[in-house]
Amino acid sequence: MKKDTLNIGKREFSSRLLVGTGKYRDFDQTRDAVEASGSEIITVAIRRTNIGQEPGQPSLLDVLPPDRYTLLPNTAGCYTADDAVRTLRLARELLDGHNLVKLEVLGDADTLFPDMVQTLAAAETLVRDGFDVMVYCSDDPIMAKRLEEVGCVAVMPLASLIGSGMGILNPWNLRLIIDNARVPVIVDAGVGTASDAAIAMELGCDGVLMNTAIAKAQNPVLMASAMKKGVEAGREAFLAGRMPRKLYSAAPSSPTGGLING
């Protein structure tokens, strides 16, 4: 059987689970959870350095070295296309020209729902500037298509709100996006537990990106392992092709003849 890989632009990955690095207790827990998840693509945020902080303090990239993981800098917290573009240009400089990025432009501080007008504008600028853009978006099939058309290398619709853990709330929209997409579709946001990740993959998603579901589990490292298995199980089930649903048409799995009371 041909190796089942996730191809994003010209890059190839064997893991279909992408994880964030926020909200962990400390860097040790971050590293252990990332390792347990088996993820190859790891999101990071870009922030002002604390001026006057003690030199020699450990940094995130010491525990997650860029030569071992594919770092995916994000634009979390950006509310305009301009801020998002500036942030990712800084990220590219920070990571020695690495051009694979996660774009998200938020529209509302309460729901963290994306502003798709700003998102599309930023995507166009970034693609023109040579970035490989993986884009967080609403689960609107038309917007997902527009983002693909301007050159994004992956579209990443929400399954439910960021950090909500509410799971896959609109599988039908996700299916529409998947069926129409020619780039990978990665569910980004909303997954709460391993079955949510499996459902996303069974729908035909190419991958799942999550942070809070692992970081805020009671045991993040164990949940990271569970998510790895959930994504793998869902992917295999999708490839295997599930049996048809047959409401009111029960069919026994054992022979109908040869019963001792026959």
Partner 1 sequence: MSELLTSIQLNGRLHPIQPGQTLTDLIAALALTGKRIAVERNGEIVPRAHHAATVLTAGDRIEIVIAVGGG
Nearer to partner 1, 141 or 200 (CB): 200
Q: Collapse the DSSP code of 193 into the 3-class scheme (helix H, G, I; strand E, B; otherwise coil) and give the result.
A: coil
The answer to whether 43 contacts partner 1 (rule: CB under 8 A) is: yes
Residues touching partner 1, count (CB under 8 A):
36
Q: Collapse the DSSP code of 200 into the 3-class scheme (helix H, G, I; strand E, B; otherwise coil) and give the result.
A: helix
Phi-psi region of 200 (alpha: psi -120 to 50; beta: other; left: phi over 0): alpha
β pairing state of 100-103 and 70-73 = unpaired
The answer to whether 162 contacts partner 1 (rule: CB under 8 A) is: yes
The answer to whether 4 contacts partner 1 (rule: CB under 8 A) is: no
Q: Catalytic site residue 10? A: no
- Residues in 84-103 that interact with partner 1 by CB under 8 A: 86, 89-95
Binding pattern for the stretch 66-85 against partner 1, x by CB under 8 A and - elsewhere: -----x-xx-x---------
Task: Return the range that interacts with partner 1 (CB under 8 A); candidates 42-50, 145-153, 226-234, 252-260.
Answer: 42-50
Task: Return the range that interacts with partner 1 (CB under 8 A); candidates 59-67, 167-175, 190-198, 219-227.
Answer: 59-67
CB < 8 Å & 24+ apart, contacts of 46-54 = 46/73, 46/74, 46/75, 46/87, 46/88, 46/90, 46/91, 46/94
Distances (CA, A) of 55 to 45, 50, 61, 95: 20, 10, 15, 20
**Residue partners of 179: CB distance under 8 A and separation at least 6:** 204
**Which candidate in 3, 23, 102, 229 is catalytic?**
102
Nearer to partner 1, 178 or 214 (CB): 214
Residue from 5, 14, 35, 47 touching partner 1 (CB under 8 A): that is 47
Q: How far is the CB of 35 from partner 1 (least distance, A)?
A: 15
**Alpha-carbon gap, residue 213 to 194, rounded angstroms:** 9
**Residue partners of 72: CB distance under 8 A and separation at least 6:** 18, 41, 42, 43, 44, 100, 101, 102, 134
Residue from 8, 36, 46, 205 touching partner 1 (CB under 8 A): that is 46
For residue 181, give the nearest of 145, 152, 151 by alpha carbon. 145
Sheet containing 100-103: which strands, arranged edge to edge?
Answer: 100-103, 132-137, 154-157
Binding pattern for the stretch 15-34 against partner 1, x by CB under 8 A and - elsewhere: -----xxxxx-----x----
Binding pattern for the stretch 235-254 against partner 1, x by CB under 8 A and - elsewhere: --------------------
Q: How far is the CB of 90 from partner 1 (least distance, A)?
A: 4
> Residues interacting with partner 1, by CB under 8 A?
20-24, 30, 43-49, 51-52, 55, 59-61, 71, 73-74, 76, 86, 89-95, 162, 209-212
